Chains A and B, each alone.
Chain A
Amino acid sequence: MTAESDSSSEFVIPISYGSSEITQTGKWGFQKPDTVFKTAPCQEACPTGINIAQFLYLANEGMYGEALLAILKESPFPGVCGRVCFHPCELNCNRTQYDESVSIHAMERYVSDATSNQTIKFVPLPSGESRRVAIIGAGPAGLSCAYFLSLLGHRVSVFEARKEPGGVMRWGIPGYRLPKSILKREIRRILSLPIELRTGIEVGKAVSFYELGAFDAVFVSPGAQIGVPISIPGEKLDQVWKGREFLDRINSKVKVKLGKETIVIGGGNTAMDVARSALRLGSRVTVAYRRTRNEMPAIQDEIEEAEVEGIQLKYLIQPVKVNFLKTKRLAVKFQCMKLSSLDQGGRPKAIPIKGKFITLETDHLIAAVGEQVDLSWLPLELTKNGLIEKNPSPKIFAGGDAVDQARTIVTAIGGGKRAAISIDSFFRGHDDHAVLSKIRTGDKGSLSMETYLRGREKEDWPEAREVVPYEEINTLFFEPSRRIRMRKRNRDKVLKGFSEVNLGYNAKEAKFSASRCFSCGTCNYCYNCYYFCPEGVISLDPAQWRKEVDFDHCKGCGTCAKACPRSVVEMREYP
C-alpha cells in the first residue's frame, strides 16, 4: 500500500512503485479453496479401480505412455480389458446423464495399442522383507496377484497346469475377441518382473497342495473349467459337446469339424463365444436360452454382435431330451418356459409351461450353461458350496472364477490385486480389513493400489475419497457430443476366420473420445479456476502437477469452486 514518491514526477501522479501485495486481502475471508480429488463413478464401478479420469486426462494430452502407466498402476491387462471387459465403468459414467457415456473401454484399448512398442521398466519395492508366495493358476487372477506381489517386492512362484499361461484368456476367449498376440504381450510384460512361472505343473499331481506349505502364503486361483452337465437323456451322444471344451479345442488349434447346424444352450459369455466360434467354423447357429434376452448374463455387446453376425436366438426353451436320428442328426426336445417371480439374484425364474414342448433338429448340440470348479485336489476345509473360500486360513488366499464372485476377467484381475494387498498386509502384520476400507475406490468393492502404496510405508491412509455424483458436475462447461462407434472389420471377412472383429480407434477418434471425459473429481488443468479467479491468486503448472493458491491474497470468494466443472475445488471454512 505504499505510494512511494517518485522524485521525477514531483509526487504528482498517484502511482505506487511498491506492490499492493503488502495488503493481505487473504485475511478478509473466512473460507479457502481446497483441492479435493474424488472418485469418479467410473472408477468406483471398475472392478480393478483404474483411475480412469487420470488416464483419460493423460491420453487427451497425448501422453499415452503416461496414460499406460496410470492404468498399469491398477491393472496389468489394459490390452485384454480394452477388448473383453464388460465395462461397467461406461454404464456408470456421469456423462450418460448428459448425452452419452465416454468411450472408456475403447480408450483403454487405444492406450494399450498406441504404446505397444513401449517397454516398461518396472521398479519393484526393495525386497528386504520379502516373502515367498505360491500362486496356483496363471489366469487373470493369478497373474495379477503375481504382478502386484512382485511389485511389492515379494518372491512369487506361479504354478500353471497348462503348457502356457493365460487361463481363460488363453484357452477360453476366442481370437476374434482377443488376439493371442495381445495377451502374449501383456503376459510378457508381467513376466518381465522377477516372477517364477512353472508351466505344466499341476498342483495336486506333480506337486501336492501340502508341499506348498513351505511358502509364506498361497494364492489359489485355479479357475472354473468343468462344463456343467445339462443332465438330460442323450447328453452322452458324440454330437453333444460342452462349451468350454469346444472353445479349448479351438484355442488349442485342434481341428474341429461341425455339422451344418449347431444349437448352443446357454445365455452367458461362454454361450456367445461358442455360438460365434461355431459360426466361424461354417455352421448355422441357434442359441437356446431358457429365459429372455433381458436376463441373459452375457455382455450386451456380445449378444448384439452375435445377432448381427446372423446367429438366431430362441428364448424361453430348455432342452429335456436329445435323440439321435437315422439321418445322423439330432432331435432336441425343448420344454417351453415362462418367466415367474424373481429368484435370489433378482432375476425372474423360468418355469416350465405344462405340456408345451418343441423339437428342433440339428447336427451338433453344445451346452454352455456354466462351469464348475475342480476341487478334488484341495483340502475340504478350504471349500464351500462347490467354490473355494477367499481367505480360508491366515496364509491361504483365493480368487478368480473359483471363488464366489462374478466370473469376468476384470473381476478376476481385481480379485488378484485384492489378494496381493491382503497378502502384503498379512506379511506386514496389519489388519487388512482396515486397510482395504481406506484404499477402496467408492463402495462397489474395488481398490486402489496407488493409494495402498502411498500409505504403506507409514501405515497411514487417509479416509476413502467421495464419489462424485452427476449433480456436482458443472455441465455448463461441456458441449453435448456423441460417442464414436468403433470401426469393425468387414463382416464377410470376419466370419471366415478368427481375426479380430473390432478395429479400435484411430488417433483422431481417440483424442476426441478422451476429450469427452468430464474428469469427475480429477483436476485436468482446464484452467477454469485460474481464468475465473478475480484475484489472480491461483497458479497452475501441469508439468509439475502444481496447483497453488496464494492464501495471503485469496479472499475466499468461492468463484473457483463454482467454476470448477468437475467438483475438485471445495471451500473449507477455517478458524
Chain B
Amino acid sequence: MSTPKTLFAVALVLSFGGLAFAQSQSPNLGKPITESDVKTWDIAILPDGTNLPAGSGSSAQGAKVYAERCMVCHAEGGKGGIMPGAGPLVGGAPLTNGIDTAKTIANYYAYATTVFDYIRRAMPYNAPRSLADDDVYALTAYILSLNKLIGENDVMDAKTLPQVKMPNRDNFILPYPDRI
C-alpha cells in the first residue's frame, strides 16, 4: 500500500536518476574493517597535532640522521642545490616580493606539522617510510632549529610540535570560503 511518505521516498530516489540509493538499497560492497586495520596507512597529521605518533627527537639527534640520510640531496646544513627538486630547507626571503619569492619552510609554511608529515610520508626520496618516528621528530627539530623557529635544545614530540608558531601563519586568505 502506498502512503504519501513512501511515494515521496520513491519520487526522491527517481529524482536522483537511480544513482542515489537509500542506505539499504546501496550496493554495500565495501568490506567492513576497523581503524586498527588502517593503522599502518593512517599517517596524515592534522595541524592541531591530531594523529602525531609517540616518540620524540632533538635537533642534535636530527643532525646525525640528516648527515646519514638527507645531506646527499639537500646538502650540508639544509642549503639545498645538489639534487633538482631538493630545495633549500633553511632561510627564505620576505614574501613582500610576491611571486618572485621562493616559498620556504621559514617564510611560508603555516604549520610545523606539515614538515613532520611530509618527511614521514615521502622522505628519503629513494626510500620513503624507512625512517623511525623518533628520527622524523629529530629531523623536524633539526630543520626547525636551523631556521631558528625553535631553540637548539627544544625536543619535538606530539605535544610540542603543534605549538611551534610559524611566522607566516596569519598571512593566508580564504578567497572562496563557500567552497569549504
Q: Do A and B come from one complex?
A: no
Instruction: Tell me the A residues contacting B by CB distance below 8 Å.
Output: none
